[in-house]
């Protein structure tokens, strides 16, 4: 049986975005009837829907679907979570790693849910600063832990491919709530993630 790619995209949105991509490509001086570009507007429309699917997802629902009553009250860390997002200023990718820690306060969450909420917020037009805060606040407000910490390290194509063209720059953002506002707890977290 031949390969079949199953995608679930709105036909209306796909058609509208496809038409606009075709106009953009033609405005840049390219021939959209050229073999290599025939399907590019549709592919780009579907890619953009995939890369912005976070608007259609509820991070609170994701977290609450796997909250479990538990007496564990030490630090839980999920580090090196892959991050891919789009900078809202140039619609160019930024990518890197997210490190998340929380100290439970009666409830733990399924470990896979933390990377899932990273994706929900990352798959929107973003800035790294807001992304850090959204992840932090979602965990803090939903789990109500004793504390939560988020550190994001990312490379931004808008700084690498254009503009200042600095190939080795990394942007780091962080946020801390509750127990992580205490220097000892924060330092323990940073040491455990290798910072």
Residue ranges of the annotated binding site are 87, 90, 158
165 catalytic, yes or no?
A: no
Binding-site residues for Zn(2+) sit at 87, 90, 158
Q: Which of 23, 88, 129, 181 is labelled catalytic?
A: 88
82 catalytic, yes or no?
A: no
89 catalytic, yes or no?
A: yes
CA 14 to chain centre: 22
Q: Which of 42, 90, 133, 188 is labelled catalytic?
A: 90
Q: Which of 87, 126, 134, 153 is labelled catalytic?
A: 87
Q: DSSP assignment of 90-127, as one string?
A: T--EEEEEEEEEEE-SSEEE-TTHHHHHHHHHHSSEE-
Q: Which of 49, 99, 126, 128 is labelled catalytic?
A: 128
Q: Which of 56, 61, 89, 129 is labelled catalytic?
A: 89
> What is the Cα–Cα distance from 135 to 38, expressed in whole angstroms?
39
- The total number of residues written for the chain in this structure: 195
> What is the Cα–Cα distance from 55 to 123, expressed in whole angstroms?
7
- Residues assigned a catalytic role: 87-90, 128, 156, 158
């Amino acid at each position: 049986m031949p390969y079949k790619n199953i995608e679930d995209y709105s036909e209306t949105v796909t058609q509208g975005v496809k038409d606009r991509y075709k106009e953009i490509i033609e405005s840049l001086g390219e021939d959209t009837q050229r073999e290599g570009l025939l399907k590019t507007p549709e592919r780009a429309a579907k890619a953009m829907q995939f890369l912005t699917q976070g608007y259609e997802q509820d991070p609170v629902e994701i977290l609450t679907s796997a909250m479990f009553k538990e007496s564990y009250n030490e630090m839980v860390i999920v580090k090196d979570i892959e991050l891919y997002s789009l900078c809202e200023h140039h619609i160019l990718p930024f990518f890197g790693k997210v490190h998340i820690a929380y100290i439970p306060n009666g409830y733990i969450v399924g470990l896979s849910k933390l990377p899932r909420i990273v994706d929900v917020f990352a798959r929107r037009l973003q800035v790294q600063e807001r992304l850090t805060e959204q992840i932090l606040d979602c965990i803090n407000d939903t789990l109500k832990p004793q504390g939560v910490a988020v550190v994001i390290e990312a490379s931004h194509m808008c700084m690498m491919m254009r503009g200042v063209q600095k190939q080795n720059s990394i942007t780091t953002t962080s946020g801390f709530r509750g127990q992580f506002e205490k220097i000892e707890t924060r330092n323990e977290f940073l040491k455990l993630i290798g910072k």
